[in-house]
């Protein structure tokens, strides 16, 4: 049995977990008071899982591939913003290390899915 809905995608599941972790981190301490950074990193995390879902529902490999490109870019945005949060003291090093590892894993899984979809896209030509 294959993937029938976007919720079945491991990439989406991992992006969902990352998004939850980002929300938890941004609700604590000084991070919660920085509405600009906390809102931006939350939106970037939401963008990852949303683009995976939207691309899947397009039911078109070329479009799905493009949405995965956007999802991976949003993952890079999350990672960049995590560095800011670390640098300004909003995240302890251990929390940062955990979140950055989680974001890197999401990026790897999205990249793998993107490579798979690219192959499917070329098969249809």
pLDDT beyond 90 at 2 = no
| pTM, two decimal places | 0.93
CA distance 104 to 93: 16
Q: Which residues contact 95 (CB under 8 A, 6 or more apart)?
A: 25
Q: What is the pLDDT of residue 3?
A: 84
Tell me the per-residue pLDDT of 76-120, one tens digit each, with 9 for 90 and over: 999 999 999 999 999 999 999 999 999 999 999 999 999 999 987
Token pair, residue 119, equals: 């192959």
Domains of the chain by start residue, with CATH: 6-123 (1.20.1440.60)
Residue whose C-alpha is closest to residue 17's, from 75, 64, 70, 56:
75
Tell me the per-residue pLDDT of 20-69, one tens digit each, with 9 for 90 and over: 999 999 999 999 999 999 999 999 999 999 999 999 999 899 999 999 99
């Amino acid at each position: 049995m294959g993937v029938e809905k976007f919720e079945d995608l491991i990439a989406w599941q991992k992006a969902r977990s990352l998004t939850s972790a980002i929300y938890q981190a941004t609700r604590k301490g000084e991070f919660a008071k920085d509405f600009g950074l906390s809102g931006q990193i939350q939106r970037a995390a939401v963008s990852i899982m949303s683009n995976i879902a939207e691309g899947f529902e397009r039911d078109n490999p070329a479009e799905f591939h493009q949405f995965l490109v956007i999802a991976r870019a949003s993952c890079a945005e999350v990672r960049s913003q995590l560095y800011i949060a670390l640098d300004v003291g909003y995240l302890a090093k251990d929390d940062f290390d955990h979140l950055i590892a989680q974001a890197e894993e999401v990026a790897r899984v999205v990249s793998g899915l993107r490579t798979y979809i690219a192959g499917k896209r070329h098969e249809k030509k």
